[in-house]
C-alpha cells in the first residue's frame, strides 16, 4: 500500500503514552509507523520529535523526523502547538486541530444549517431573562459554553407552586428558591460570572424510568469520508438526568427496538446517521480539519430526535464492553491518517 507512513499521535500527558500507543498499535494493520508524543517532546530547531513507539514488540523512546500526519488528541483550547506543527509539516496534515468545542459556536452553526429542526432553542445566559424562559418551557438547562462530561450542566425547573428547583447531575434539587425570592439575583450569583448558555428543556423519553441519550460516533475512513462507527445509548442512574455519569452503555440496537416498531426503527437509524454526518461536515467546514466527533441526541416524549451537543474528543473508554465497535473506533483515525499521508505524497509529486 505505498511507502511506510509516519504518523504522530499528539497527547497532553506524558504518563499516558504507553496506554495510548498500546491501544492504537493493537488495532492498526496498515503499512505505517506510529509514535506517541507530547508538546514538550518536540525539538523545534532540530525538526525532530522524541516519541514512544513499538520496535520489535518492545516500547521504546526514539528520535523521529517530523511525521507525515499528526492526529491531535490534546483536549484544550490552545492551538499554538498544532498550528506550529502544521506550518512545519504542511497544511491539512494535522487533524482534530480544535477538539474542545465552544457549545455556543456549535449551536449557532447548527441553527443556521438545515439541521435547525433538531436543535433546541438556546440563548446566552447574560442576554435573556431566565424567568421568562422558565414560564415558556417550564424546564431549562444551563450549561457552560466550554464544558465536558456533563460537569457544568444544571437543570432548572419551574414547579407548579411557583418555586424554582435547580439540580446538578441528579433530579434532587441542590437549590430551591421560593416564588417570593428574587430568583434572577440568585441565578446571577451562580451563573453570571462565567460564559453560560440556557437551553430549552426537552421532555425526554425515558427507558425504565431512566434518562438516556443516543451517542453517534462519526469518524473519517480510509477514503477520507465521514462514516458512522458506533451508535450507543448511555443510560443514566435512576433519579439522575446527567447521562455523562451513566450507569450502563448499550448498543443502540438493543435499546431502540423497545421504543420503535421495526418499520420505524430503520428510519430512525437512517436519520441518526444522516444528521450526524451532516453535523460533522458542517463543523469541519467551520473549524478546520477533523477526523472524528460524536453527536449526542435525545428523544422527546413524541419520539422526536433532538441534538443536545457535539463532542470534539469523544471518550473511547465508553466502548470497552462493546467489542463489536472496539477495532473500528481505534483503527479509523489511523486509516484516515494514512489517507492524508498518501494525499500528501501525491501533492509532493506535483
Over residues 2-15, the pLDDT tens digits come to 568 999 999 999 99
What is the chain's length? 350
Residue 149: per-residue pLDDT? 60
Residue 189 buriedness (CB in 10 A; 0-12 / 13-18 / 19+): exposed
Does the pLDDT value for residue 344 go beyond 70?
Answer: no
Among 52-66, 120-134, 141-155, the range scoring the smallest mean pLDDT is 141-155
Residue 331 buriedness (CB in 10 A; 0-12 / 13-18 / 19+): buried
The H or E element spanning position 32 is strand 32-37
**Helices 130-137 + 183-191 axis angle, to 10:** 110
Delimit the CATH 3.30.470.20 region(s) of the chain: 103-118+204-312
For residue 68, the 8-state DSSP code is S
Average pLDDT, the chain: 90
Q: By the 8 A CB rule, do 35 and 49 touch?
A: yes
Residue range 103-118+204-312 in CATH 3.90.230.10: no
Over residues 176-230, the pLDDT tens digits come to 988 877 888 888 888 866 789 999 999 999 988 999 999 999 999 999 999 999 9
Residue 179 buriedness (CB in 10 A; 0-12 / 13-18 / 19+): exposed
Does the pLDDT value for residue 345 go beyond 80?
Answer: no
H helices of the chain, where? 17-26, 80-89, 103-111, 130-137, 183-191, 252-255, 262-287, 323-349
For residue 297, the 8-state DSSP code is E
Q: By the 8 A CB rule, do 200 and 221 touch?
A: no
Q: Which CATH class is domain 5-97?
A: alpha beta
Delimit the CATH 3.40.50 region(s) of the chain: 5-97
User: pTM here?
Assistant: 0.92
Residue 347: per-residue pLDDT? 40
Among 103-112, 155-164, 189-198, 269-278, the range scoring the smallest mean pLDDT is 189-198
Amino acid at each position: 500500500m505505498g511507502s511506510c507512513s509516519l504518523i504522530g499521535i499528539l497527547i497532553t500527558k506524558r504518563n499516558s503514552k504507553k496506554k495510548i500507543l498500546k491501544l492504537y498499535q493493537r488495532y492498526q494493520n496498515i503499512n505505517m509507523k506510529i509514535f506517541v508524543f507530547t508538546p514538550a517532546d518536540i525539538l523545534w530547531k532540530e525538526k525532530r520529535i522524541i516519541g514512544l513507539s513499538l520496535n520489535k514488540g518492545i516500547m521504546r523512546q526514539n528520535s523521529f523526523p517530523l511525521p507525515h500526519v499528526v492526529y491531535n488528541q490534546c483536549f484544550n483550547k490552545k492551538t499554538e502547538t498544532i498550528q506550529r506543527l502544521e506550518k512545519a509539516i504542511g497544511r491539512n496534515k494535522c487533524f482534530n486541530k480544535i477538539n474542545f468545542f465552544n457549545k455556543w459556536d456549535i449551536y449557532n452553526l447548527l441553527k443556521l444549517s438545515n439541521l435547525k429542526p433538531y436543535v433546541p432553542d438556546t440563548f446566552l445566559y447574560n442576554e435573556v431573562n431566565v424567568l421568562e424562559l422558565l414560564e415558556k418551557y417550564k424546564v431549562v438547562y444551563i450549561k457552560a459554553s466550554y464544558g465536558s462530561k456533563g460537569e457544568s450542566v444544571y437543570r432548572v425547573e419551574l414547579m407548579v407552586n411557583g418555586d424554582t428547583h435547580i439540580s446538578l447531575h441528579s433530579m434532587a434539587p441542590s437549590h430551591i428558591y421560593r416564588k417570593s425570592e428574587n430568583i434572577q439575583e440568585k441565578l446571577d450569583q451562580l451563573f453570571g460570572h462565567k460564559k453560560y448558555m440556557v437551553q430549552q428543556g426537552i421532555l425526554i423519553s425515558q427507558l425504565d424510568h431512566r434518562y438516556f441519550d443516543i451517542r453517534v460516533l462519526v469518524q473519517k475512513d480510509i477514503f477520507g469520508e465521514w462514516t458512522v462507527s458506533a451508535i450507543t445509548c448511555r443510560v443514566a442512574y435512576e433519579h439522575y438526568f446527567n447521562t455523562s455519569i451513566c450507569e450502563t452503555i448499550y448498543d443502540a440496537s438493543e435499546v431502540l427496538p423497545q421504543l420503535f416498531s421495526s418499520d420505524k426503527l430503520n428510519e430512525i437509524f437512517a436519520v441518526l446517521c444522516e444528521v450526524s454526518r451532516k453535523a460533522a461536515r458542517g463543523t469541519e467546514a467551520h473549524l478546520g480539519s477533523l477526523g472524528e466527533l460524536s453527536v449526542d441526541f435525545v428523544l422527546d416524549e413524541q419520539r422526536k430526535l433532538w441534538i443536545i451537543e457535539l463532542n470534539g474528543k469523544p471518550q473511547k473508554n465508553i466502548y470497552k464492553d462493546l467489542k463489536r465497535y472496539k477495532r473500528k473506533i481505534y483503527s479509523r483515525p489511523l486509516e484516515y491518517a494514512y489517507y492524508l499521508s498518501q494525499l500528501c505524497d501525491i501533492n509532493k509529486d506535483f
